[in-house]
Amino acid sequence: MEIEPSFFQDIRQMLRQARQQAYSAVNSAMVEAYWKIGRRIVEEEQKGSQRAEYGEGLIKELSRQLTGEFGKGFSVANLKNFRQFYLTFPNSEKSYALRSQLTWTHYRLIMRVESPTAREYYLQEAATQSWSTRQLERNINSLYYERLLLSPDKATALQKEASFEKTRPEEFIKDPYVFEFLNLPEPYQAGEKEIEAALIENLQAFLLELGKGFSFVGRQFRISTETSHFYIDLVFYNYILKCFVLFDLKAGKLVHQDVGQMDMYVRMFDDLKRTEGDNPTIGIILCTEKEQTVVRYSILNDSEQLFATKYRLYLPTEEELIAEIEREKRLIREQLRLQGGQPETENI
């Protein structure tokens, strides 16, 4: 007997949804159980001796008994993770409740993050953006949150580092962007066209690195006047900012001609492509190095639509990223000093 394909598809979809709901329910229950176990371990430790040996012995004995009854999953290392889970998020309602999208592996990764504001950022973004554990680990290792704080309007971003509601263009831009997912061979001698092609081939990873709200519009996007044609490397639309975002790739350091070219692209795009309801177009120049003199004495310094940011074709070490972030903070202080202003927070 033959059945209608649509009938089979309906039944299959029902089963898939039921399995996903069951998985989510089990996952939430286990995460909650792990938090409660961690809390109970801490309470028991506080009743006993304060010596480290007591806590170590307590966990070892608990591991032995739980493994004997429930099998794998209750090693000493895992029980220590449960304990740390509770210590990291002592208030369950504020810290991890209502985030049933996240697995235990997500929480284990986030527990490694020292900054409370960074932890909250990763919790929120991993849940709302459906980050896989692999993507979350990559973002933590690449200091995704810290790079976002070093947007072109760095002082404002750093002063607002506890706020995750983004409404301004500069709050969506990282410095640097990291494109290690392109897997380009070393030594890196890729030209602009090669990098552009590799980004399109890895569009999903590129969108994840760009962040929230971006959708791809076109590559080598043509805009034309009465007499000339111009081609923009990459065009996106950000549905949160409600505007087009243009990217110009440079396989070298920023020069003033790059700024002038992007300024022209943005003005043309606003005139020829922007529709009613769209906010002003944003132009981002991606370069391997930024000459601060060019930034300071060009239209970049005052424009709310033009930005220049660096990109890396490899995943730097945490030490390299921290050094770069600290270098950018020093540039902020110097820029504020020259402008006659002072940062409102010591975080800068």
Does residue 244 sit within a domain? Answer: yes
Could you identify the residue written with the tokens 């350091």?
253
101 contacts 130 by C-beta, under 8 angstroms = yes
CB 111 within 8 A of CB 81: yes
User: Where a domain ends, among 55, 88, 121?
Assistant: 88
Confidence category of residue 81, pLDDT binned at 50, 70, 90: very high
Considering the chain, what is the average pLDDT of its residues? Answer: 81
Q: How many CB atoms lie within 10 A of CB 145?
A: 21
Report whether pLDDT(220) > 70: yes
Handedness of CA 255, 267, 331, 329 (dihedral sign): negative
Sheet of 214-224, strand order: 177-178, 306-312, 282-287, 243-249, 229-238, 214-224
Q: Are residues 184 and 304 in the same domain?
A: yes
The whole-angstrom separation of Cα 5 and Cα 3 is: 6
Measured between its terminal Cα atoms, the distance across the chain in Å is 72
pLDDT confidence band for 147 (50 / 70 / 90): confident
* 322 or 150: which leads in pLDDT: 322
| Cβ atoms of residues 67 and 60 within 8 Å | no
What pLDDT, on a 0 to 100 scale, did the predictor assign at position 344? 45
Please give the residue range of the domain that contains residue 20.
1-88
Question: What pLDDT, on the 0 to 100 scale, is given for residue 233?
Answer: 95
State the pTM of this model. Answer: 0.63
Among 28, 58, 88, where does a domain finish?
88
**Is 51 part of any domain?**
yes
Same domain, 330 and 210: yes
Q: For residue 74, which phi and psi values (nearest 5 degrees)? A: -125, 40
Tens digit of pLDDT for each residue in 279-296? 999 999 999 887 776 777
Query: Looking at residue 331, what is its pLDDT?
Result: 67
Question: What is the domain-level CATH number for residue 218?
Answer: 3.40.1350.10
Q: What pLDDT is stored for residue 70 in this prediction?
A: 85
Do residues 320 and 131 touch, judged by C-beta distance below 8 A?
A: no
Q: Show which of 88, 116, 138 is a domain's final residue.
A: 88
Range 11-17 average pLDDT: 86
pLDDT digits (tens, 9 = 90+) for 181-192: 888 876 667 788
Quick check: is 120 in a domain?
no
pLDDT band, very low/low/confident/very high, at 106 (cuts 50, 70, 90)? very high
Confidence at residue 327, expressed as pLDDT on a 0 to 100 scale: 73
**Nearest Cα to 284, choosing from 249, 257, 251, 318?**
249
* DSSP β-bridge partners for residue 236: 216, 245
Residue with tokens 């903070």: 329
In a domain, 169, yes or no: yes
Give the 3-state secondary structure percentages of the chain, helix then strand then coil, rounded to 5. Answer: 55, 15, 30
Quick one: average pLDDT of 305-334?
A: 77
- For residue 114, is pLDDT > 60? yes
Q: What is the pLDDT of residue 339?
A: 60
Does residue 142 sit within a domain?
no
Q: Count structural domains, the chain.
A: 2
- Please identify which residue in the block is written with the tokens 């263009």: 169
Give the mean pLDDT of 135-151: 81
Alpha-carbon span 29 to 45, nearest angstrom: 24
278 Cβ contact partners less than 8 Å away, ≥ 6 residues apart: 242, 243, 244
Three-state DSSP class for residue 280: coil
- DSSP-assigned letters across all residues of 172-202: G--SSEE-GGG-PPSS----HHHHHHHHHHT
SS3 per-residue string spanning 68-119:
HHHCCCCCHHHHHHHHHHHHHCCCHHHHCCCCCCCCHHHHHHHCCCCCHHHH
